[in-house]
A and B are shown apart, each in its own frame.
Chain A
Amino acid sequence: MQFIIVGIGGQGILFASRVLGHVALSKGLHVNGSEVHGMSQRGGSVISHFKIGSYASPLVRAKEADILLAFEQGEGLRNFHFLKKGGTALVNTDRPEAFSDPDLVAFLRAREVRLYPVEGTRLLREKMGGRFLFLNALILGALAASGASGFEAVDLKKAVAELAPARFREENLKAFELGFEALPERS
């Protein structure tokens, strides 16, 4: 299982791979991934590669990713080329009309991508007083609902609870639930 996780520095995308690694290790699986640290973290485009299984290299090759998690819509669209045929894309969206672009629709059809747009930013604004730092837990909730990761929702949720700092545990679990409930029908 190969993941590409993208967003903007500061959105907490590294938390997602930590959670996935935590679950994988508890099941005795090997993990390997690549993160961005340092200057690029300062509000710029960030990409995290994460692989579960016996891989030597930490990097996912284009057209090999099973799952794309996008914390920001633009970053998601920029990295769709990583998706393999039949892959799953979970995108935090603020401009859903972009998904009607005819060329994008043609690409998604040709690649047989399962696309799940999630309005995470709006949900956090409306349901959690605009605490956008919990977007990572929300995305993981949506991933759990999609079933695409092959991990049980209960395992993912438990890992979020275990890895979240104690003082933010409740909020993280709430955001996870919001994401879980938010998943639209398959498109």
Chain B
Amino acid sequence: MNTRKVLLGNEAIARGLIESGCDVITAYPGTPSSEILPAAAAFADELGTKTVVEWGANEKVALEVALGATFAGKRACAVMKQVGLNVAMDPFMSAAHFQLEGGMIVIVSDDPGCHASQDDQDSRGLALFAKVPCFDPASAEEAKSMVASAFELSEKHKVMVMLRPAVRIDHCRQDVQLGEVRHASAPADFKTRPAGHKVVMPARIMPFLEAHNARFEAIRQEFETGFGQYNFEIPAKRPATLGVIAGGVSFSIVKDLLEALGRDDVAILKIGTPVPLPEKLAEDFLARHERVLVLEETFPVIENQLLDRTRVMGRWNGWVPKQGELVPEVVESVLLKALGEEPPSDPALERLAAARERLGLSVKKPVLCAGCGHRPSYFAIRKALPDSIIASDIGCYSLSIQQQAVDTIVCMGASITVASGLACAWRSEGAAPRRPIFATLGDSTFFHNGMTGLATAVYNRHPFVLAIMDNRITAMTGGQDHPGTGDKPRQNETGVAVGLEEAVRGCGVSYLKVLEPYEVEANLETIREAWAYAKEHQEPAVLVFRHPCVTMLKARPEKRPVTVVAEKCIGCRFCQDRFGCPGLAWDGENRKARIDERFCVDCGVCVSACPHGAIVRIGEVL
């Protein structure tokens, strides 16, 4: 086969995994990495491979499952987003030290600019920390090719390797060369000898560390000369006034920029293997250029590995911004500054800015979908107990901050543990909580990291209400399955659905009720009852708000169209500030709410959102 196809970067990576004969692929979804695993399943189906493609309940689980497969000599890969690696850091560190039988890649997608993340951490930094070699692709095609290289490097040195695509590689769409499956692993077998070679224990670890450090240096030597397709120089066509060392998409941006500006006096050293840095390659480039600008996202990982930074312009001396994405406009301004040149003036832009200001244009923030079950769930909690503290979590429902219904978000599963901590704060005074405490998280997040927190809360008798927003899917990342759904990524393969209620009861919870979020009025009493129970019995009470994600609906639900009765709408904006549905727009001119037919899905739930009865079911208007 010799065809090109336009693929999403994540699809190109997935294709690389299947072509490389990866036997076991695991993941927990997280933007920008989420599409890799489903695409791998689709390619495996298409090419008829036996590849095991599975979601883990969280990233730690996913990485450990992949690692176990390499113990039996298979090629394996675990996929996650950058903050997912924090969850998987424990096995990541241990796995780094093993001599692996089968090739292993960890794919960690970074999110410079925090498009869909709580921070902009650079996973190359964690690769350096763990002394795990890292590939940093500058295009979809290169990412696909690096998958194959990473497996080869992994097997040659018996070491785990990281592939770190950043968001612009994950979510680029590019034409990519397709190939065939090119590798087959040996039959699965676990070598029991030498005894304990897969056991990390204090007494055994010293020789592991020595071997680990030696391998890291050997790989550095290999990166110096052996990976010219990823590490190369684009020399200036005349004596260079500036050198640029760049990796990842920053390389692609600066390359296009120099071409567009017609600059032939700037040399580029591209680094595709930033960890461990091929030091001699970089030092040779530094020696030949008077000044060198380093462009990489998001941390100074290449920069900090340079032994002499006196001629380096980077983050350490303020030439490159320490936060924010290096988009082409930023790269242009940094480059011109480094060249000592002024950007051309553009008076037309000032007129555009003035027009935007007058027309009142601003970035539209993401909101929960029209008809989403999360919105009325949070609305009901706030309405039933306005004084409640709501500890929320990572998922679509974090968008309920716009309903003023989210008080804390920390990380996956921390809704439950933060609620515990709040309860402990009052307990430390010998008192019951003086405000109702709620923890809210989704079904996928509950299986990810919620159960351990819940078991701890039951054990320690922490009084709060846990509201599980069960929409039967991992929604924010685009609709992936999880243990609670039982469905699996590959065709004709089904798993076993782990019952949410059974899991909750298994953690020792005695108060558990399942609610339909659309029934706002009916739910108010149950919400108050659950809090009263938690407080009286000194234990967590659990409410499951169950409504399938509207983006996954297979059949159209019953239509309950509504309208806003203009005479009754007093323009208080309560429905906007506390309910905030895209289908319920604000008419600024008349200062009244109105239905926006473009987005309204006729769920009829907003009838409960108006304290003045101005939103009514069509047919009930008199």
Chain A residue nearest to B398 in the complex (CB): A39
- Judge if B467 is at the interface, Cβ distance under 8 Å: no
- Judge if B556 is at the interface, Cβ distance under 8 Å: no
Given known A36-B171, A101-B355, contact A44–B366 (CB-CB < 8 A): yes
Chain A residue nearest to B358 in the complex (CB): A101
Interface hits, B417-473 → A, CB 8 Å:
none
* CB atoms of B251 and A75 under 8 A apart: no
Residues from chain A with a CB closer than 8 A to the CB of B46 are none
In whole angstroms, what is the CA distance A98 to B5 when docked?
A: 41
In whole angstroms, what is the CA distance A41 to B348 when docked?
A: 31
Residues from chain B with a CB closer than 8 A to the CB of A43 are 364, 366-369, 582, 599
Chain A residue nearest to B174 in the complex (CB): A32
Across the interface, A61 reaches (CB within 8 A) one of B332, B347, B363, B599, namely B332
Most buried by A among B115, B347, B364: B364
Most buried by B among A10, A60, A75, A130: A10
Interface hits, B240-272 → A, CB 8 Å:
249, 251-253, 255-257, 260
Selected interface stretch from A51-59, A138-146, A172-180: A51-59
Interface hits, B137-176 → A, CB 8 Å:
138-139, 168, 171-175
* CB atoms of B364 and A38 under 8 A apart: no
* CB atoms of B328 and A38 under 8 A apart: no
B393-408 vs A: 1/0 string, CB under 8 Å? 0001001000000000
Across the interface, A59 reaches (CB within 8 A) one of B174, B251, B327, B368, namely B327
* CB atoms of B174 and A33 under 8 A apart: yes
A17-61 vs B: 1/0 string, CB under 8 Å? 110011011000011111111111111110000100001111111
In whole angstroms, what is the CA distance A37 to B170 when docked?
A: 10
Given known A25-B4, A58-B249, A110-B347, contact A42–B355 (CB-CB < 8 A): no
* CB atoms of B361 and A78 under 8 A apart: yes
In whole angstroms, what is the CA distance A111 to B8 when docked?
A: 33
- Judge if B478 is at the interface, Cβ distance under 8 Å: yes
| B interface secondary structure, majority | mixed
* Size bracket of the B interface: 35 or more
- Judge if B195 is at the interface, Cβ distance under 8 Å: no
A93-123 vs B: 1/0 string, CB under 8 Å? 0000010010110110011000000000100
Residues from chain B with a CB closer than 8 A to the CB of A38 are 31-32, 34, 115-116, 476-478
Residues from chain B with a CB closer than 8 A to the CB of A61 are 256-257, 260, 328-329, 332
* CB atoms of B364 and A77 under 8 A apart: no
In whole angstroms, what is the CA distance A122 to B348 when docked?
A: 31
Closest CB in chain A relative to B273 CB, distance in Å: 18
* CB atoms of A74 and B361 under 8 A apart: yes
Residues from chain A with a CB closer than 8 A to the CB of B238 are none
In whole angstroms, what is the CA distance A30 to B256 when docked?
A: 14
Given known A56-B251, A61-B257, A74-B361, contact A106–B351 (CB-CB < 8 A): yes
Chain B residue nearest to A42 in the complex (CB): B366
Closest CB in chain A relative to B295 CB, distance in Å: 12
Given known A22-B6, A31-B175, contact A103–B358 (CB-CB < 8 A): yes
Given known A37-B171, A57-B249, contact A104–B355 (CB-CB < 8 A): yes
In whole angstroms, what is the CA distance A33 to B169 when docked?
A: 10
Closest CB in chain A relative to B610 CB, distance in Å: 21
Residues from chain A with a CB closer than 8 A to the CB of B182 are none
Residues from chain B with a CB closer than 8 A to the CB of A74 are 359, 361, 364
Given known A37-B478, A58-B252, contact A81–B349 (CB-CB < 8 A): yes
* CB atoms of A64 and B366 under 8 A apart: no
Most buried by A among B6, B139, B171: B6
* CB atoms of B368 and A42 under 8 A apart: yes
Closest CB in chain B relative to A89 CB, distance in Å: 12
In whole angstroms, what is the CA distance A149 to B368 when docked?
A: 35
* CB atoms of A44 and B253 under 8 A apart: no
Interface hits, B58-104 → A, CB 8 Å:
none
Other A-B pairs, 20, CB within 8 Å; known A74-B364, A104-B352: A31-B174, A36-B171, A37-B31, A37-B171, A39-B31, A39-B116, A43-B364, A44-B366, A57-B253, A58-B172, A59-B168, A75-B364, A77-B355, A78-B356, A78-B361, A81-B352, A103-B354, A103-B355, A107-B351, A121-B598
Complex A-B: 5 CB contacts under 8 Å:
A9-B366, A32-B173, A56-B139, A56-B255, A107-B351
Top 5 closest A-B pairs, CB basis? A38-B31, A44-B366, A61-B328, A110-B348, A56-B252
